[in-house]
Amino acid sequence: MFDYSITENCLSNKTILVTGAGAGIGREAALTYAKLGATIILLGKTVSKLEALYDEIIALKLAEPAIVPLDLKGATKQNYIDMSATIVSQFGKLDGVLLNASMLGELTPFTQIHEQIFNDVMQVNVTAQYLLAQALIPTLQLADKASLVFTSSGVGNQGRAFWGAYSISKFATEGMMQVIADEYENSNLRVNAINPGATKTNMRASAYPAEDKEALATPADIMPLYVYLMTNDSLAVNGKTLKAQ
């Protein structure tokens, strides 16, 4: 695992938006950030999952989170601009954004990729990330120090047979991260990506249905890197893809 010792309350006074906060790695990251003192904005597709996490955070007597129900497949540029304006009016700034939500599509030979699935994967994993980042960067610039974190994959810088649209979308994600990181070098904003590695979630189960799930890292196991990139300990890190495992 990425070697980082998490200290109590290391995220206090920070407001952090997490996409895909209802399940898997995003849910764990949102809960972990809340336990470390941050106020969390939970963005996701399935409202009931976001509400369940909201209830869990309130039951733990942590800072009250906000819920943003948004389907990245259908959301428009205006939706993201409106969301950013609401965040500024409610919270004043954003200290961190974890762009975690994505879809796998289907694993299939390249010649058999369905155009609709290719377009959906690109919409959710690339276009929505670009629109989110574009709308949220001005809000991140209102913070003293801010961190924008993209989510890549092992197939995000080395292509692999049958990983088609998903792999292509993660290459684009890493490219987007590097472009923005270069533009904002020497600013208050640092921009990086995480490669979580094989992690026990629904997405992993749909990619590898037959594997032994007990051998996999859990979302909780990989949190050190997710926390590190949101703390001031990572202020000097920019333009990097870091492995959580």
Q: Which residues bind ligand NAP (CB under 6 A)?
A: 20, 22-26, 44-46, 49, 71-73, 100-103, 124, 151, 153, 196, 198-199, 201-204
Q: Which residues, other chains included, contact 2 with Cβ-Cβ below 8 Å and sequence gap of 6+?
A: 222, 224, 225, 228, 242, 243, 244, 245
Q: Considering the complex, state which of residue 143 and residue 200 has its C-beta at the smaller distance from ligand NAP.
A: 200
Q: How far is the CB of 42 from ligand NAP (least distance, A)?
A: 10
Q: Which two tokens stand for residue 206?
A: 């749909």
Give one word for 77, left, alpha or beta, with left for phi > 0 and alpha for psi -120 to 50: alpha
Instruction: Assess whether 130 carries a catalytic annotation.
Output: no
Q: Which two tokens stand for residue 117?
A: 């699935």
Phi and psi at residue 78, to the nearest 5°: -65, -35
Rounded CA-CA distance 174/163 in Å is 16
Q: How far is the CB of 20 from ligand NAP (least distance, A)?
A: 3
Q: How far is the CB of 84 from ligand NAP (least distance, A)?
A: 16
Rounded CA-CA distance 13/33 in Å is 11
Q: Considering the complex, state which of residue 55 and residue 144 has its C-beta at the smaller distance from ligand NAP.
A: 55
Q: Considering the complex, state which of residue 79 and residue 201 has its C-beta at the smaller distance from ligand NAP.
A: 201
Q: Considering the complex, state which of residue 141 and residue 218 has its C-beta at the smaller distance from ligand NAP.
A: 218
Nearest residue to ligand NAP, scored by beta-carbon proximity:
24
User: Which residue's structure tokens are 């290391």?
Assistant: 10
Q: Considering the complex, state which of residue 78 and residue 202 has its C-beta at the smaller distance from ligand NAP.
A: 202
Strand, coil or helix: what is 194?
strand
Task: With beta carbons less than 8 A apart as the criterion, state whether 145 and 235 touch.
Answer: yes
Task: Please report, for residues 55, 111, 242, the alpha-carbon distance to residue 41 in angstroms, rounded to integers and kept in the order given.
Answer: 13, 40, 24
Q: How far is the CB of 188 from ligand NAP (least distance, A)?
A: 25
* Catalytic residue (one of 54, 80, 166, 184): 166
Q: How far is the CB of 51 from ligand NAP (least distance, A)?
A: 11
Give the residue numbers marked as catalytic. Answer: 166
